[in-house]
Amino acid sequence: MNFRIIGLVLVFLSNNIFSQSTFYHIDTVREIKFNFDQPNWKYLLDSLYVLGDEQRIIGTVTIDGYQYDSVGIRYKGYSSVNITQTKNPFNIKLDYIINDQEHQGFNKIKLSNVIHDPSFLREALSYQIARKYMPSSKANFANLYINDTLWGVYSNVEAVNKDFLSKHYQSRNNSFFKCNPSSLDLFGENSNLSLSPGNDSLDYEAFYSIKSDYGWGKLYQLIDTLNNYPSSINKILNVDRTLWMHAFNYSLVNLDSYIGYAQNYYLYEDNSGRFNPILWDLNMSFGSFRLTDASSYFSGMNISQAKTLDPLSHLYDVSVFPRPLMRNIFNDNRFRKMYMAHLKTIMEENFSNLSYLDSANKMHQIIDQSVNLDSNKFYSYLDFQNNIDSTVTNTINYPGIKDLMSNRMNYLSNYSGYNHNITIDSIKEYNNTLSIGDDLWITANIIDADQVVLFYRFKSSGAFQETLMLDNGNNNDGAIGDFKYGAKIPNIGNNTQYFIYAENDSAGQFSPERAAYEFYEYYAPIQGGDLVINEILAINDNVVQNEFGDYADWIELYNNTNSSLSANELFITDDSTNLLKWNIPDINIPANGYLILWADEKHNEGIKHTNFKLANGGEKLILSNNSGQIIDYLNFPTQSTNVGYARIPNGTGNFVYNTPSFGYDNDFANVSSINQSKLSCYPNPFKNHLNILLENPNETLISICDIQGKIILQQKVKPIGHKLILNTSSFKKGMYFVYLNSSKINSIQKIIKD
């Protein structure tokens, strides 16, 4: 069956079904208790903060009645911490001592002390809006107790960590940076992505904190491209996600961000090699922070100026401190119109219809009693009551959220390029129940557009490709000039995602309006034989290691088609009574490509780790879709150590015991039919040295490949009786193949590094 839906909406709805039990559900004030054995716990925390030490003190943490021991606790933040104040923000690491300790899937908890916000709502309300348009943290509220004393109500914000990345980007180990300078310069560039620090990636360590094992070179490449080759920036930066971030910050006057001091955001490189900005630290949104915009108001602005802050100031005005992530992108006509379309969507979906006010009032009621009982809060209960509507005067003037946004809406609604007459409707998919590999035609009625572009992709983590939609009578679009546009998406996979963008000389329009975060989808069913269980290894003693260095069971899936296939909404199980036991992540399997799943019962270690293991004595594996339709299955018998069970021929044949070929063509691992008499390798298993003895009268090419088919070593050797002695100390433990190739003979031998 085929569907056309707006992507992510169904995910949102299905999550809400279970939202009553989730840690970040907005309708509940959580209860979190710290218990410290050390009577001087505050002195210890203060000392660590003063020293700049990110070590933690140990305590017991109880969350809604669930107790966790040996938890690491420290302060978090920069401007919100002060050792002279009672109510400081906290960073809680549940698995600091005890591995895998977590609460409802979360091992790190961040509590903000609600400083610079008399309304108490800015952070949770801002994240609620942001999550409609880009991957953003969940946030709600928590009452904190320390040694049974109420410490106050806190904002409870989901950490942007590797678990967050897995959930939103289907990966967790790519280049990852927190963009905050080690020392904020109030009259400097900070983490602005300019080239000012120098031409070596190490020159940037003071301005960006690396959160991955590698990536400095990638970050420098991004900065170099952004500043010197901006026309190529789309290849290394998710520009659409960047435009959404800027539109969000300017809509909500969130100046404690890139558009202010150039800080408080993350950058993560997705599986397509593009960096994605991620919002962070929204406690001073809605005009609470107004010290700078690095442009006209570099010395600060008042509330009236915040209401009319120009969303293109860094294009049309001066940048006192460079902001290449805005100026160099806004210089592109299409990107600028896309940005204004995003800004309009945020304003119309949240502020012109007053939905933000409904959310603010609901949150206000939920935390009202908690705020009243908070004796350590920075503002009075009366300030809390008033700040949704009215300005509160304290250290500075904190604008009433309603007053600020009503005036902001009025200002932006009259901004050039904001209002337009572009309409996109009557979107249709022309098909006769298409199959994988067919072409999909998309048409739409579009008014007042000079150019229309169809964006499409076949995997959720991929970049969208684009093709023009035309009204020329040759694209299933009807008559010439009838405002019906058409375009073809060739060679579709099982899941095709697309959206439409139209523009004229002054404005742009998306359909759906939240694109590219949301999109339309077309499903072509995976038929039997399209995607198969291709190989298993149930007893992996030393063949291949996973990313944690473990020799775990694994399952190999193979895409038999010439189109990309998405694993979205597919399941694999070893229990015929529970076909939905493990949801395969939304990973793209390329045409004639492989997907390896680690069957190690460690699903918390990453998206490719299942919640079951393979039985050594044999069992049944079933691959199915979310409707319970079986796509492929395997009844495998008793397995032996380091022996694969694989389809021969690859992808289509019956299963036989075979040399494991982990993500590689099974046919090449079937060495029984290949002449091995001319090739001798010893010792086998080997350690730091390997001897290769040849009986071949011709010049020979020797190749050593790892289990994935990657050539580790290649060397030509002389004829007849040549003995080659190799230093293999750098080889990792596991299985390898030695290939002999000459004009007269081919041989192969399996070897193992012990």
Mean pLDDT to the nearest integer, 366-370 = 98
Q: Write the CATH number for 734.
A: 2.60.40.3080
Please state, for a pLDDT cut of 70, what percent of the chain lies above it.
93
Q: Write the CATH number for 618.
A: 2.60.40
pLDDT tens digit sequence for 586-608: 888 999 999 999 999 988 788 89
> pLDDT at residue 673 above 90?
no
The band of 674, judged by pLDDT with boundaries at 50, 70 and 90, is very low
> pLDDT at residue 134 above 70?
yes
Cβ(607)–Cβ(460) below 8 Å: no
- Clarify whether residues 322 and 184 are in a common domain: yes
Q: Which two tokens stand for residue 623?
A: 């691959």
Alpha carbons 478 and 472: distance in angstroms, whole number: 8
In this predicted structure, what is the pLDDT of residue 549? 85
Strand segments (E) across 300-450: 392-393, 397-398, 423-430, 440-447
Identify the helix (H) or strand (E) that includes residue 50.
helix 41-50
Higher pLDDT, 109 or 717: 109
Domain-terminating residue out of 615, 641, 669: 669
Residue the block writes with tokens 């964006």 = 455
- Clarify whether residues 484 and 556 are in a common domain: no
pLDDT tens digit sequence for 443-470: 999 999 999 999 999 988 789 999 999 9
Q: Which of 29-38, 51-60, 286-295 has the highest mean pLDDT?
A: 29-38
> pLDDT at residue 358 above 80?
yes
Alpha carbons 593 and 572: distance in angstroms, whole number: 18
In this predicted structure, what is the pLDDT of residue 90? 97
- Clarify whether residues 177 and 315 are in a common domain: yes
Mean pLDDT to the nearest integer, 400-417 = 96
Higher pLDDT, 31 or 627: 31
pLDDT tens digit sequence for 237-266: 999 999 999 999 999 999 999 999 999 999
Identify the helix (H) or strand (E) that includes residue 63.
strand 57-63
Q: Write the CATH number for 477.
A: 2.60.40.10
The answer to whether residue 495 is domain-embedded is: yes
Q: Which two tokens stand for residue 722?
A: 């040549």
The band of 303, judged by pLDDT with boundaries at 50, 70 and 90, is very high
Pick the closest to residue 197 from 169, 157, 224, 231 (CA basis): 224
Q: Give 519-533 as a DSSP string.
A: -EEEE-PPPTTTEEE
In this predicted structure, what is the pLDDT of residue 677? 52
pLDDT tens digit sequence for 118-131: 999 999 999 999 99
Query: Is residue 528 classed exposed, middle or buried when 0-12, 13-18 and 19+ CB atoms within 10 A define those classes?
Result: exposed
- Clarify whether residues 452 and 588 are in a common domain: no
The answer to whether residue 266 is domain-embedded is: yes
- Clarify whether residues 200 and 271 are in a common domain: yes
Pick the closest to residue 278 from 238, 334, 230 (CA basis): 238
In this predicted structure, what is the pLDDT of residue 247? 98
- Clarify whether residues 516 and 433 are in a common domain: yes
Higher pLDDT, 648 or 663: 648
The answer to whether residue 1 is domain-embedded is: no
- Clarify whether residues 596 and 737 are in a common domain: no
> pLDDT at residue 721 above 80?
no
Alpha carbons 574 and 504: distance in angstroms, whole number: 55
In this predicted structure, what is the pLDDT of residue 6? 43
Alpha carbons 581 and 610: distance in angstroms, whole number: 9
Residues 6 or more apart whose CB falls under 8 angstroms from that of 99 comprise none
Mean pLDDT to the nearest integer, 76-98 = 93
Alpha carbons 117 and 100: distance in angstroms, whole number: 35
| Greatest extent of the chain over all pairs of C-alpha atoms, in Å | 95
In this predicted structure, what is the pLDDT of residue 742? 56
Alpha carbons 578 and 584: distance in angstroms, whole number: 14
> pLDDT at residue 613 above 70?
yes
- Clarify whether residues 264 and 318 are in a common domain: yes
The answer to whether residue 416 is domain-embedded is: no
**Residue 606: CB atoms within 10 Å:** 19
Identify the helix (H) or strand (E) that includes residue 595.
strand 594-598
In this predicted structure, what is the pLDDT of residue 459? 85
- Clarify whether residues 606 and 624 are in a common domain: yes
The band of 4, judged by pLDDT with boundaries at 50, 70 and 90, is very low
- Clarify whether residues 681 and 665 are in a common domain: no
- Clarify whether residues 738 and 645 are in a common domain: no
The answer to whether residue 115 is domain-embedded is: no
> pLDDT at residue 718 above 50?
yes
pLDDT tens digit sequence for 162-188: 999 998 998 899 999 999 999 999 889
| Number of domains the chain is built from | 4
In this predicted structure, what is the pLDDT of residue 719? 55
Identify the helix (H) or strand (E) that includes residue 694.
strand 689-694
The answer to whether residue 148 is domain-embedded is: no
Mean pLDDT to the nearest integer, 624-647 = 92
> pLDDT at residue 723 above 80?
no
Q: Which of 404-408, 434-438, 718-722 has the highest mean pLDDT?
A: 404-408
- Clarify whether residues 685 and 657 are in a common domain: no
Identify the helix (H) or strand (E) that includes residue 334.
helix 333-347
pLDDT tens digit sequence for 472-495: 999 999 999 999 999 999 999 999
The answer to whether residue 14 is domain-embedded is: no
In this predicted structure, what is the pLDDT of residue 277? 98
Structure letter (DSSP) for residue 106 = B
> pLDDT at residue 499 above 90?
yes
> What does the radius of gyration of the chain's CA atoms come to, in whole angstroms?
29
The band of 434, judged by pLDDT with boundaries at 50, 70 and 90, is very high
Identify the helix (H) or strand (E) that includes residue 468.
strand 465-469
In this predicted structure, what is the pLDDT of residue 431? 79
> pLDDT at residue 722 above 80?
no
Domain-terminating residue out of 523, 539, 574: 523
Q: Which two tokens stand for residue 162?
A: 């590797």
Threshold 0.75, pTM exceeds: yes
Domain-terminating residue out of 488, 504, 523: 523
> pLDDT at residue 3 above 60?
no
User: In terms of residue numbers, what domain contains 508?
Assistant: 423-523
pLDDT tens digit sequence for 507-537: 999 999 999 999 999 999 999 899 999 999 9
3-state class (DSSP) for residue 213: coil
The answer to whether residue 124 is domain-embedded is: no
How confident is the prediction for the chain on average, in pLDDT?
91
